[in-house]
Amino acid sequence: MLRPQSTPTRDLVSLDGVWKFALVKDSLEKEAPWTRPLSGCLEAPVPASYNDVFLSPDIHNHVGWVCYQRRVVVPRGWSQERYFVRIEAATHKGRVYINDTFVTEHVGGYTPFDAEVTELVQPGGEFRLTIAVNNELTNTTIPPGIIEVLASGQKKQQYFHDFYNYAGLARSVWLYSVPARHVEDVTVLTDVQATTGIVRYDIKTTELGAGETVHVTVQDEADVAVGKAAGSHGEIHIDGATLWQPGAAYLYRLCAQVRGADGTLLDTYSVAIGIRTVQVRGTQFLINGKPFFFTGFGKHEDSAIRGKGHDPAYMVHDFQLMDWIGANSFRTSHYPYAEEVMDFADRHGIVVIDETPAVGLNLAVNSGFFEGVGKDASTWSPEFINDDTRAAHADSIRELVARDKNHACIVLWSIANEPATDEPGARAYFEPLVALTRSLDPSRPVAYINVMFANYKNDLVADLFDVVCLNRYYGWYVHTGDLVKAEAQFEEELRGWDRTYGKPIIMTEYGADTLAGLRSFYDAPWSEDFQVSYYNMCHRVHDRVPALVGEQVWNFADFQTSAAHVFRVDGNKKGIFTRDRKPKAIAAVLKARWSQKLQDM
């Protein structure tokens, strides 16, 4: 899962650009589009979701497979190397073909995978690379969905999450090489004792030959070596270490090398590491032993035309906006984000709650909001979220931790958003997943994000987790517009969670849809004025509950949703910024509040 890197022993070739593109209208196997140059004249940008790039409703609403294709040349100098195509994301399922040969399939739309090319194409050779991508969601995928086949034979996708089901190759694609003997994985855990930073590392390599060894060095930001060790696992102590702090990032570089018996360099790979600790104690969330208060956002990867396509300009601008407003954190709601985003957060000291794509495991939300599907069914049942779904969910946790474990910015894993944790079956479903997450990463706390139906009286799983993360919409979905009732009930609930569980509470969502430019003397819902009053009400409550250690508003920016609902007009409008990142009136209010919070911390 190591991200491809250009180093003295590894090469990296970008395959981003404009690829040939086609919908697969029949079955993928029957059409076998990988066996020839794609017909038709469509071309699609990579990285980008394909849905909003074209004007055709057939493409926008397509359910099933699409194909991306381009020609690729293997560099001549790679005769001693192994080489792979890395797909950073194929949403939600990808198949890779090198010329006529099927190489690999990957399920899960937001984590990377590789297709090995070495045996199939010689160095200097050219090949036809076809990536088939499928966007279908069923009851055994994460996230889940239901596919209806209409009388016309057309498929219609329903899903239980409130963001558009963007699909395609939304992140970069690479061709990269590694030497035959190479570093396969690096795992780093850090600790702090007094002023000494402790770096525990574990380097996995391919099988090494006689006399071949692993060496590790740690360099500081001035490129000065501050620690060295030999062997595939061990501990490096850094006296007077500079800690990675929220708002004050400091990154060391851990470089893992494989050397031959005569000392020649066989492979070298490095990761950025931040030395810091994370701990939950009582109702406090501690980073480096100091109480931390989360300010910031639930976000989305979402922008016009690109959909979920990673765009470095949007990324940098979003972090600028977060800095401007005093946000020290965000949650990767509701799926792992591009690795560039995690790297950026590492470098800039932004704290991240990292989430799996397990969103929409809840038929009650569905029956309320999404056309009533599943009204009388129960979520945790053989017909809906079953053992196969749980196996897919476990895979999504494994892949998330494998990809992101070394990021200092990540302080909490969120393994699901708003599952039906008030329904029988929830505990049996979640117990093994929590145990799995802890076994994969014993160093970070684990959370799930709680939905309003599962309150402190009837939730069945909250004690399994370290932190209480709540999504609440008092004053919006509940007691719409009545902020007096909302305030009382919101406070009662927060105090109930505190009394019952004695854990830190983070508000991971609260918000109100707001149409930019709509003003009201009467605080009418949907107006910018109401959004301000709504947040002021919530913040009065937050300030009265000491166990509350974080407020991440919903959402950073307006974002696209499925169009098939009467309560969404061109998307979800709960953004603090519009979809093109212009501030609503609330932005100045949050800036004042959070800037003060950061000063007080």
Residues contributing to the site for ligand GCB (CB under 6 A): 161-162, 334, 417-418, 471, 509, 554, 572, 574
The residue (of 232 and 471) whose beta carbon lies closer to ligand GCB is: 471
Cα–Cα distance for residue pair 285/291, rounded to 1 Å: 6
Nearest distance from residue 275's CB to ligand GCB, in Å?
33
Cβ contact 539:491 at 8 Å: no
Nearest distance from residue 511's CB to ligand GCB, in Å?
6
Cβ contact 176:84 at 8 Å: yes
Cα–Cα distance for residue pair 272/107, rounded to 1 Å: 28
The residue (of 418 and 487) whose beta carbon lies closer to ligand GCB is: 418
The residue (of 106 and 300) whose beta carbon lies closer to ligand GCB is: 300
Closest by CA position to 516, among listed 594, 446, 467, 569: 569
- Segment (H or E) for 368: helix 363-369
List the strands of the sheet with 196-205, edge to edge: 183-193, 196-205, 233-238
Nearest distance from residue 143's CB to ligand GCB, in Å?
11
Q: Compute, in degrees rounded to 10, the torsion defined by CA atoms 97, 100, 101, 102.
A: 40
Partners of 175 in the beta sheet? 13, 85
Q: Compute, in degrees rounded to 10, the torsion defined by CA atoms 316, 561, 135, 176.
A: 0
Return the structure tokens found at 200: 């525990």
The residue (of 396 and 471) whose beta carbon lies closer to ligand GCB is: 471
With tokens 């949050």, the residue in question is: 590
Q: Of the listed 399, 418, 493, 528, which one is catalytic? A: 418
Nearest distance from residue 451's CB to ligand GCB, in Å?
6
| 418 labelled catalytic | yes
Cα–Cα distance for residue pair 601/593, rounded to 1 Å: 13
Q: Of the listed 301, 339, 509, 528, which one is catalytic? A: 509
Nearest distance from residue 574's CB to ligand GCB, in Å?
5
Cα–Cα distance for residue pair 561/565, rounded to 1 Å: 9
Cβ contact 403:339 at 8 Å: yes
Type of residue numbered 321: L
Q: Give 593-600 contacts, CB < 8 A, sequence gap 24+.
A: 593/326, 593/539, 594/295, 594/296, 594/325, 594/326, 594/327, 594/328, 595/326, 597/293, 597/295, 597/326, 598/247, 598/295, 598/326, 598/328
Nearest distance from residue 508's CB to ligand GCB, in Å?
8
The residue (of 129 and 586) whose beta carbon lies closer to ligand GCB is: 586
Cβ contact 229:238 at 8 Å: no
The residue (of 318 and 346) whose beta carbon lies closer to ligand GCB is: 318
Q: How far is CA 84 from CA 87, 120, 225, 253, in A?
A: 10, 11, 32, 25
The residue (of 171 and 574) whose beta carbon lies closer to ligand GCB is: 574
Closest by CA position to 274, among listed 165, 350, 362: 350
Encode 143-184 in three state secondary structure: CCEEEEECCCCCEEEEECCCCCCCCEECCCEEEEEEECCCEE
The residue (of 336 and 349) whose beta carbon lies closer to ligand GCB is: 336
Cβ contact 506:333 at 8 Å: no
Nearest distance from residue 238's CB to ligand GCB, in Å?
40
Cα–Cα distance for residue pair 421/418, rounded to 1 Å: 8
Nearest distance from residue 162's CB to ligand GCB, in Å?
3
Cβ contact 42:68 at 8 Å: no
Nearest distance from residue 161's CB to ligand GCB, in Å?
6
The residue (of 354 and 509) whose beta carbon lies closer to ligand GCB is: 509
Residue number closest to ligand GCB, CB atom: 162
Cα–Cα distance for residue pair 540/259, rounded to 1 Å: 60
The residue (of 270 and 560) whose beta carbon lies closer to ligand GCB is: 560
The residue (of 217 and 362) whose beta carbon lies closer to ligand GCB is: 362
Closest by CA position to 200, among listed 445, 406, 438: 406
| 509 labelled catalytic | yes
Neighbour count for residue 582 (Cβ, 10 Å): 13
What does the longest C-alpha to C-alpha distance in the chain come to?
Answer: 79
Catalytic positions are: 418, 509
